[in-house]
Amino acid sequence: MTTTTSRAPQPAAARRPATTRRRPFNARRAGAWALLALAIAVSVLPFLWVFRTALSTNGALATQSASLLPADFTVGAFMRVFGLQSPADAVAEGGSGAAIDFWLYLRNSIVFSSITTAGAVFFSAMAAYAFARLRWKGRNAVFSLFLGTMLVPPIFTALPNFLLIKNLDLLNTMLGMVLPYVFMTPFAIFFLRQFFLNMSREVEEAAMLDGAKHLRIFFQIVLPNAAAPIATLALLTFIGQWNEYFWPLLVGSQDEVRVLQVGLGVFKSQSPQGAPDWSGLMAATLVSALPVLVLFAAFGKKIVNSIGFSGIK
């Protein structure tokens, strides 16, 4: 299950392009499938291993480190993560016994990701409408400037943004955490503008002849018609925000606003001297991944199909 084993696909792949599309079975096809299956295994099996670890006790993990089934099955690690285990039990199972408020982090993650997603998607849709449908001087220049921000590395703006949030006295507040994301993301504007440009404008023009104003057209025609791409964008933005680590680490290091990703790092460093609380750590990891896994299970097709090149032609 090492990543190095998956080095194999490339040379084999290079040797056999463009063949055997319609043949039912042959050795090449089987070989290609085998390599693909290997890559899928490398991508997916680690998660099963994490699950198995989370259902084990730490003591048994050390002695049965290679058994495929949970070592000494228990849900104690999950109870530990959610603070349902007494400190004594936790220590007995190899936890640190220190309280860690995962419910709070979970709530913070949900609030942080939801607010930033809702704000960024809505405001970006408004801006995208102005870029795609309205005529105004300097439109293309402003749009290019917006796009240019995609190239600025986040670390570069993170330092001054941190200072700004600090000067506003918003460190360790949810407001300070969401502010840089909530007004727009360059990607969201680009993504929606591209879609608006390709949308038929007949209905909008008819409405305009009837005297409808842009605000009404935006809310009653454009937004409903763009529901599908907006949903995709919201999904991608939410997952991205859920996984955000650097900014929440800088601005939200205290418990009351700490998000799961930052909490995980803390959980890791909390193990006392000696063996780390692997099962607790893996249970916490799974809990942190769960919302994304659920979204992926529900909307996998939307997400997978969104990965590609829009506007390449």
Partner 1 sequence: MMTTLTKNPAASSDQRSARPGRIRRGGLRRYGDLKIALFFIAPAMIGFVLFYVVPTIRGIYLSFTEYNILGDPEWVGLDNYAAIAKDPLFWNSLAVTGQYVLMNIVLQTVLALGLALLMDRVAKSTLVRGALLLPYLMSNVIAALLWFWMLDYQIGIVNQFIEWAGLPRVAFFGSEEWAIPTQALINTWRHMGYTALLIFAGLQAIPQHLYEVAKLDGASPFQTFRKITMPLLRPVLVLVLVVTVIGSFQVFDTVAVTTQGGPVNATRVIQYYIYQRAFTESDFGYGSAIAVILFLILALVAFIQMKFLKGNESDLD
- From its phi and psi, is residue 97 left (phi > 0), alpha (psi between -120 and 50) or beta? left
Decide whether 53 or 74 has the Cβ nearer to partner 1: 53
Residues 80 and 146 sit within 8 Å (Cβ to Cβ): no
Decide whether 87 or 272 has the Cβ nearer to partner 1: 272
Does 231 interact with partner 1 (rule: CB under 8 A)? no
Decide whether 92 or 303 has the Cβ nearer to partner 1: 303
Using CB under 8 A as the binding rule, the residues of this chain from 49 to 78 that contact partner 1 are: 49-50, 53, 61-62, 65-66
Point out which span in 83-91, 93-101, 169-177, 282-290 binds partner 1 (CB under 8 A): 282-290
Does 18 interact with partner 1 (rule: CB under 8 A)? yes
Buried b (16+ CB within 10 A) or exposed e, 194-232: ebbeebebeebeebeeeeeeeeebbeebbeebbeebbeb
Does 4 interact with partner 1 (rule: CB under 8 A)? yes
Using CB under 8 A as the binding rule, the residues of this chain from 234 to 253 that contact partner 1 are: 236, 239-240, 242-246, 249-250
Residue from 84, 163, 228, 231 in contact with partner 1 (CB under 8 A): 163
Does 223 interact with partner 1 (rule: CB under 8 A)? no
Decide whether 42 or 91 has the Cβ nearer to partner 1: 42
CA 115/CA 176 separation, integer angstroms: 12
Using CB under 8 A as the binding rule, the residues of this chain from 82 to 121 that contact partner 1 are: none
| Residues in contact with 172: Cβ distance below 8 Å, sequence separation at least 6, in sequence order | 251, 252, 253, 254, 256, 257
Closest contact distance (angstroms) between CB of 216 and partner 1 is 12
C-alpha radius of gyration, the chain, whole number: 25
Residue from 81, 261, 271, 280 in contact with partner 1 (CB under 8 A): 261
Does 10 interact with partner 1 (rule: CB under 8 A)? yes
Residue from 161, 173, 220, 270 in contact with partner 1 (CB under 8 A): 161
Residue identified by tokens 């930033």 is 116
Using CB under 8 A as the binding rule, the residues of this chain from 173 to 212 that contact partner 1 are: 179-180, 182-184, 187, 189-191, 194, 197, 205
User: Could you give the angle at the alpha carbon of 60 between the alpha carbons of 57 and 61, nearest 5°?
Assistant: 80
Closest contact distance (angstroms) between CB of 1 and partner 1 is 6
* Residue 283, phi then psi, degrees to nearest 5: -65, -45
CA distances from 236 to 3, 148, 182, 246, 304 (A): 26, 21, 15, 18, 10
Residue identified by tokens 């249970």 is 283
Residue from 48, 139, 231, 272 in contact with partner 1 (CB under 8 A): 139
Closest contact distance (angstroms) between CB of 86 and partner 1 is 25
| Residues in contact with 225: Cβ distance below 8 Å, sequence separation at least 6, in sequence order | 199, 203
Residue identified by tokens 């606003």 is 257
